[in-house]
A and B are shown apart, each in its own frame.
Chain A
Amino acid sequence: MQVLNWFFQRKADDVRTKAKDRMRLMLIHDRLELPPDRLASLEEELVAVVCRYFEIDRDAARFDLQQYERRAALIANFPLLRSKT
């Protein structure tokens, strides 16, 4: 088992992965000139709007920025439980 782990290793907590993840996030913010707290307030507002229409699974909700080439995309994924009447 250890051998298998070794073959397929790509530890998420190694320095290289950490640097890459930090880098990616930093550059998305740099390129958009996005202040650090702005995304959190957008999420809050969006969730509030969606919640007017649906009950959502807050724990499974995903909300983040991803990089495509030199552009960023906002990925919001709110699993819906039921609609509100």
Chain B
Amino acid sequence: MSGRVIVVTSGKGGVGKTTATANIAVALASSGSSVAMIDMDIGLRNLDILMGLENRVVYNLVDVVEEKCKIRQALVKDKRHASLCLLPAAQTRDKTAVNADQMKKLCAELKTMFDFVLVDSPAGIESGFQNAIAGAEEAVVICTPEMSAVRDADRVIGLLEARKEEISQYRLIINRIRPAMVKNNDMMSVNDVLEILSCKLLGVVPEDEDVIISTNKGEPLAGTDNARAGQAYRNIARRLKGEEVSFLDLDSLNGNNGSWFARVVKFFNPVRV
């Protein structure tokens, strides 16, 4: 088996990298793929919490790299999906505990065991980020429609472009878009961000309170309910697998698409989401 190693990154912190990693992984696993997640945020481990696996962590990424255990011993199996595993970060070490070569080797080995290897990158563009992208062949860049997040995403895209030979493609997820604010011209739209970054779109995830609830429950919403963010992540997983899936119509999610009048307005003045 030769799986695909995909790094999830953003530059800026707090835009939803870990949430995206967990949800894409669950969506991929639900559709029959085998998936390994690597939490690369060494010292600030979080992916285990989102997955509800914090009590099952025994060994971690650093233990594997330092050959204190086998990969299989460190992989934590998901509660609901037998084909989904987490390789947790070490909580008591720092980014210098791993280097790029070790990451390449680790990703190469996991690739032989899983269809997808998702690497959850730490924020920033320093060594932690460099290690996270070291073994990756594809990248998913997460960005919210805020100026600071877009600027940081642009920086990350620049760094990914510089590694074109290793990272064959990168695509953008626009997270936490608020259709009502876009409609009022108070927030940049999906097209605005795409135009500015000149980047291929992988998905659009609307702001959704259910994301917080699912984190508190330790159950990524892509696997459990009909929340619209969950649907968005399932679509993203399908696109990653090469399916053509049309983008969520955020306008209709906003409840403003029904009347003939709304349609006429939309025709003359398309809301760009």
Binding site for B on A (CB under 8 A): 7-11, 14-17, 19-20, 22-24, 26-27, 30-31, 67, 69-70
Contact = CB atoms under 8 A, between A and B. Distances in A.
A16 B182 contact: yes
16 contacts: A7-B268, A8-B268, A9-B269, A11-B185, A14-B185, A14-B186, A15-B186, A16-B182, A16-B186, A19-B188, A23-B188, A23-B196, A27-B150, A27-B151, A70-B197, A70-B198
Interface in B135-192: 147, 150-151, 154-155, 157-158, 161, 182, 185-189, 192
B151 A20 contact: no
Contacts of B189: 16
Interface secondary structure of B, over-half rule: helix
B213 interface: no
Interface in B205-241: none
Interface secondary structure of A, over-half rule: helix
Contacts of A70: 157, 161, 197-198
A8 B161 CA distance: 38
Interface residues on B, range: 20 to 34
A67 B198 CA distance: 9
Contact of A26 (B151, B186, B198, B268): B151
B190 to A, nearest CB: 12
A23 B187 CA distance: 12
A22 B148 CA distance: 11
A20 B185 contact: no
